[in-house]
Amino acid sequence: MTPHIKPLPGSRSLISAAAMAALIGLAGCSLTPKYERPEAPVTPTWPANAQVNEPASAVPAADLPWQQFVQDKDLRELIDLGLTSNRDLRVAIANIEQARAAYRIRRADQFPALGLSASGSRSAPNAYEVLGAGSVASQYTVEIGVSAWELDFFGRVAALKDAALASYLATEEARKSTQIALVAAISNAWLQLKTDTALQALAERTLVTREQSLALTKLRFDNGTSSALDMRQAESLTANARATRAQQVRLHAQDINLLTLLVGQPLPERVIPLVPPTPKADMQRNLAQPAPSVAPPAPLPGFAALPAGLPSDLLLRRPDIRAAEQQLISANANIGAARANFFPRITLTAGLGRVSGDLDGLFGSGGQRAWSFGPSLTLPIFDWDRNQSTLDSAQAARDIAVAQYEQAIQTAFREVADALAGRATLGEQLAALQDQVAAEQDRYRLADLRYRNGVANYLDLLDAERSLFAVEQTLAQVRLAQRANEVELYKALGGGWTEPPASKAVAASPNPPTVRQ
């Protein structure tokens, strides 16, 4: 026979207190996995073929404002206009506002929302009383209360808030990446415009020279001292020069169009580089006089020297890497919210007010105090695998975010390594081409002089002219590549974003100031 055990006096109170203590303890519970930054999938040093000699007293690229990196005042003016009017940058700023609002919504879910409600009703027990034979009951109520506030015992609301915060911080970093890309794009477009302007001037000079050679060849052909083959070759080279000039005129116009798009407004006329005027062919020049020398093109805008730093610096300097990490943090927080779906969800509704049968006495002696308290608990039992699928989706999203974060690091490493390799070789290539241009210019001068004096044939002159034109074009392209490589290194190292002092506390502030354009 089982003995009957009586509960001890006050045991029910102890059980209730223990249950309440357990619930309070669970209030600080979080099911979000602990975040650990993945290891960088790159080597700790740059490749051996990269030039990593640090310039003396050089400021790290990420700490160097673009106003100091860019040495050309016209280019600085264009970049400043672009940062004001470029539409991509405006979209990035609007994305920040949108993410900030989403974060504030999630943060507000952690706190009870108070509301004021008032109602009144008049009713009669039956139709007989409505016709006037009985009394009509009246009731007026005013109440302030909390409606369906979720008690976040298992951290679901907090996890969603953390995910929204990380997404907001990711948009902040994306805005910085957009500015860095814009500064680099405007710089590269400006360099391309300056190069195409120089190449158009080269095509103009070459066309004048070949028209002059064509006229001389035609004169000799008419006098019987030159062959029809020489005549046709001179015509072919002249037509080729005209085609090249037309191509460079088109490229020059397209460069201006691209720069206008990047800046976001029409370019100031005074900053558009113009092709210098080319003198017309001198048909009366002495046949023994060599071809006139041509002044070299204006140098391209220069940029400040940059140190390469260490690969680990990219993790802290590149906004795109920081944005990818914030997306990873957001995906990690979503796992915590998905796990919390398996546990009970407790909501609370409460109110406090007054009720009266007379509107005039609602707040007077005729009214009575009224209150309500209604907690509710929802526990998932069978949901056709909905919650498990939500968790699986969140875990897959975190795996995707990890891969994207690692890919961002690898991409950054490759961009910096490419730029360093270019810095190591482009200078040497440019110096060699400058020597080659000097040699080809002297060769063309000698060939022209020998041909005009009847010592050499026309084929020697044509070969010297074609070689000079080709190597001058190559020199202009390599000079462009060298300057563009400096811009790419600045961009790859995270340069181009100057963080104002007021925005340093934005990431840590729960109510950051509004960003305005």
How distant is the alpha carbon of residue 176 from its chain centre? 6
Burial of 288 (0-12, 13-18, 19+ CB in 10 A): exposed
Q: For residue 11, what pLDDT is reported?
A: 45
What SS3 state is found at 41?
coil
Q: Tell me the mean pLDDT per 10 residues along the chain, length 517.
A: 45 46 54 91 80 64 89 93 93 94 92 88 64 67 87 91 95 94 95 94 90 86 83 90 94 95 92 73 44 57 79 80 95 94 91 83 77 89 91 96 95 92 90 94 90 80 88 94 94 79 42 38
CA distance 491 to 182: 10
Q: For residue 220, what pLDDT is reported?
A: 82
Is 251:196 a contact under the CB 8 Å cutoff? yes
Residue with tokens 């890497």: 321
Q: What does residue 144 show for φ and ψ, rounded to 5 degrees?
A: -115, 130
HSE, CB side, 13 Å, CA atoms: give it for residue 29.
16
- Kindly give, in sequence order, each residue whose CB lies less than 8 Å from that of residue 443, ignoring residues fewer than 6 positions away: 464, 467, 468
Bridge partners of 303? 70
Specify the DSSP element, H or E, that contains 349.
strand 345-356
Helix then strand then coil, % of the chain, to nearest 5: 60, 10, 30
Q: What is the pLDDT of residues 128-172, one digit of tens each?
A: 555 555 567 788 888 898 888 888 889 999 999 999 999 999 999
**How far, in Å, are 108, 111, 333, 341, 510 from residue 158 at the CA level?**
10, 11, 9, 13, 13
Bridge partners of 377? 346
CA distance 43 to 314: 12
Q: For residue 504, what pLDDT is reported?
A: 43
Q: For residue 199, what pLDDT is reported?
A: 94
CA distance 391 to 340: 10
CA distance 374 to 358: 27
**How far, in Å, are 182, 196, 241, 476, 514 from residue 480 at the CA level?**
18, 10, 22, 6, 40
Q: For residue 196, what pLDDT is reported?
A: 94
CA distance 105 to 489: 40
CA distance 134 to 136: 7
What SS3 state is found at 410?
helix
